[in-house]
Structure 1
Amino acid sequence: MTLIISKMIVHKLNINNPLPVLNDTCIDLSNTELQEALPFFQKHIMNSRKQGAMKRCQFADIEDNSIRKSMTKIIEVQDTCEVDEIFIEESCWITMRLAKRIRSSTSRSDGSLFVILYQDNEKKFVGLLKMDPNDGVQVNADLSIKVRKDMLPSINEKLHKSALIELKEYRENEFHLFVLDKQKGINDPARYFMEYFLNAKELSSDRNMTKLIQSEIGNSFDQIIEVASKPKLNSELRKRFLEQDRFDIDTDLEPILRPLLKDSFRDLDLTESISDFKDKVLHVYPDAQFTFAPDEAAVKEVIFRTPNKNVELKFSPTLTIEDDYFIEPRPNGDVVVTLKNGIGIELEQVHTRR
């Protein structure tokens, strides 16, 4: 990967105070000492790009999107003498916007924002790297120890927030930027970085479509399918995902649904119901393609839980409901789970040994 940095500026978010600490000059990349630091930032950009949590996104509300407008201003002057002035001006505005978004969230994650103009294999990008402060310990020549405050994350540490924005003409439902908005814990606040700062939406992919349809199908056909048939619906969908190279919602969904319809809907034309389901998909991924290659790695287990989540049963998507196991809801609210063909023998042996 050929990655060349041409401009860089850093600002402190300073979120515990009313305003960030803004820089009015770019970092002098011709400085010999600073040139030695460039691989550090190149590596962080490449590491962010390779993280599994990095998402391919587009700007939402393209015409009014504030970050998109900043990028367009940089594009318009990138080959003129105004580029430094506009780059600095927009980087300051972007930093103020991010600091404001963090303050209005429940996060208190301070740090510095590096805004970097770079070229990657003939394409130009603006990188926004939020770097959280760390304390470091240095051993001096006389073997004394010095603590250094507010150090940047080491080259081996993964960033949690970054955006790599391609400088291009921005059209609806096309790639605009990579976004890394990784949460430090399951109880962390909502994604202020991706949603409220960048106002970006993830683009669809085979993996995303595979995951979304699994999560949505169970509650999308409540009116025409018996509650007792939901496990069968989920199982059949996952089975198809594992068996088929391509899945077409328009043609492959009806054969799964048809045998599970309530008696009163046996002859129902499913066109409208499937169209409503596609609208749900489009609401999440406006660029969705309804024919896609199911991602086997994204096909999840069929999971059944008690309402209080104290008990959870997982069934491999390779198992077939009715052939390998059976789920039977009772009128009183109980659910009977039957394991067939030897499934559960290992569990019984373990239980016996205990």
Structure 2
Amino acid sequence: MITAKGYAAQSANQELSPWNFERRDVGPHDVQIDVLFCGVCHSDIAQINNEWFPGIFPMVPGHEIVGRVVKVGDHVKGFKVGDLAGVGTLANSCRHCAPCNDGEEVYCENGVIPTYNGLDKYLDNQPTYGGYSNTMVSDERFTVHIPENLDLPAVAPLLCAGITTYSPLKHWKVGKGHKLAVLGLGGLGHMAVKFGVALGAEVTILSSSPKKEADAKKLGAHHFVVTSDTEEIEKVKNSFDFILDTVSAQHDFDFYGSLLRLNGVHIVVGIPPQGLEIKQVFGLQLGRRSIVGSASGGLKETQEMLDFCAVHNIVSDIEIIDIKDIKTAFERMEKGDVKYRFVIDVASIQ
């Protein structure tokens, strides 16, 4: 076994604290990564607090992991010692169902294994631990290459916030000639703007906060609409081909549906705790509109996304923190006080 140092919540709703634990030895198809940076995702808070389902504790969060390979298994073909590598939201899957065979492991029909807060039923039935730690062991299938030309700490959030927004844009073939609205300007929303612009769409930010307009324009958005301004909203009714909805708070899906044109698609990637409710079914039927969901992408698409970012020089806007400041980072993140993603300097884990 490999000794690891990390930060863990020992039980639900507890603050993170130092914790030494063990990772599996490097198997024939595994790579071991010295973790250098790990992004902080809002889902880390949700899972520590059991907001979605009962967690597995002690819990080491973190699924936006970048570092350097220090050891490879005997049968590993795609990585060598010294390579930059990353691990996102997935640790394992069944590998033989139709989605897995198509490189869509995140939709595994037999149940995907998350990078943390899961039991790996396909390997050893042991808990998975995330990237708030100094070392990681990952199967090479669930490990991606990090382009050398990108700023490494700013790459980390691409492995969740990046792929979660890139994947639906590619799936629905959003691009030139499309009007894309991005609902919410946070960790996910700011990546959606960057990808939407790079793919050639006309991008509008929908936000409840007028103060975010300057930032939206700086990120490349073509338009900005304050959702509480009835005059502005009236101008964009029946106008968008797609709405990429990154909001994880309760909001009015009927209201936003009215902004879609005929055959428009409302893509939900945020996770509102109360779920979603449609009251005006006619609004969907008479506009032939759709509400759809999308998860983070499979490994093939994640690598494609990183390569796309390398070509277009796309990374996340980040604030680097020491692990000792994680409590403050969580508090600020819940207030929306970050532009737009915290990233832990893992060297601060002692």
The answer to whether TM tops 0.5 is: no
- TM-score, normalised on structure 1? 0.26
Could you say which structure has the larger radius of gyration?
Answer: 1
Q: RCO greater where, 1 or 2, for CA within 8 Å and sep 6 or more?
A: 2
TM-score, normalised by the number of residues in structure 2:
0.26
Structure having the larger proportion of residues in helix: 1
